[in-house]
Homo-oligomer: A and B are copies of this chain.
């Protein structure tokens, strides 16, 4: 595992540091997205808050993670697929936010449908966020 992560970091031309490995590990051990706050909580005393900000920023610009917009002022972050690189994201999947457990999930298999914009608008990126009750919560 550790090796895996190192490889990913190196591929992105990021030096391999404790915080980067640990935070990346968090993302791998969790399906679903993490907010900045989550990461602070889970890394506990280990790293400075500033380091978490800078680490997420680095992962973002290198195309290791992507953001998921929210309407509660707490951006979520989730792992990108291999196909994403610095400057070229290829995340076109739907995100699901559970109103019960609060988890945000990437529905990798659900592709965001095309839409026709009014004349004069040029689209660059499309986000689609569905909220409701997730599978796990529905059962429970």
Contact = CB atoms under 8 A, between A and B. Distances in A.
A50 interface: no
Interface centre among A74, A116, A117 (most CB of B within 10 A): A117
A interface residue count range (under 10 / 10 to 19 / 20 to 34 / 35 or more): 35 or more
Nearest to A111: B115
A138 interface: yes
Nearest to A77: B71
This chain: copies in complex: 2
Interface in A79-95: 94
Given A69-B70, A75-B71, A123 B130 contact: yes
Contact of A128 (B72, B127, B135, B138): B127
A128 B110 contact: no
Given A110-B118, A116-B110, A131 B135 contact: no
What 5 A-B pairs are tightest by C-beta distance, nearest first?
A120-B135, A124-B132, A69-B69, A67-B71, A69-B71
